[in-house]
Amino acid sequence: MSRDIFNRGFEKFAAFVDAYDLIPADRSRIVVAYSGGKDASVLCDFLNEYKNTVRKDIAIELITVIFPRFIYDSPDPSRKKEVDDAIEYWTRRGFIHTRVHAGTEFPDSILQGDNPCKQCAMVIKPTLLSRQILKHQYKDAVYCVGLTLDDSIGWFLELALISAGQGDMSAIKHASPSLFAAMMFLSTRVTCRLEVEKNNLLWSRPLMAFSDGEVRTLSTQRKLPLIPEDCKEVQQRDAFVDSPRRELTIALTALRNKYQLDPHIGKDAVYASYDRAAAYFESSGLLPDLKEREQYLSEHLASLACRESAPSPR
The full set of domain ranges for the chain reads: 2-304
pTM for this prediction: 0.90
Residue 245 is predicted with a pLDDT of 64
Residue 233 is predicted with a pLDDT of 74
Stretch among 17-21, 109-113, 280-284, 310-314 having the lowest mean pLDDT: 310-314
Please give the CATH architecture assigned to the domain spanning 2-304. 3-Layer(aba) Sandwich (3.40)
Q: How confident is the model at residue 311 (pLDDT cuts 50, 70, 90)?
A: very low
Q: How confident is the model at residue 241 (pLDDT cuts 50, 70, 90)?
A: low
Q: How confident is the model at residue 270 (pLDDT cuts 50, 70, 90)?
A: low
Highest mean predicted confidence (pLDDT) among 18-32, 103-117, 127-141: 18-32
Residue 165 is predicted with a pLDDT of 79
State mean pLDDT over 225-230: 91
Q: CB-based burial of residue 153 (10 Å sphere; 0-12 exposed, 13-18 middle, 19+ buried)? A: buried
Say yes or no to pLDDT of 240 above 60: no
Say yes or no to pLDDT of 24 above 70: yes
Q: How confident is the model at residue 286 (pLDDT cuts 50, 70, 90)?
A: confident
Say yes or no to pLDDT of 98 above 90: yes
List, for residues 122-178, the tens digit of each pLDDT value.
Answer: 889 988 998 999 999 999 999 999 999 988 988 888 888 888 878 777 788 888 888
Q: How far apart are CA 208 and CA 204, in angstroms?
A: 10
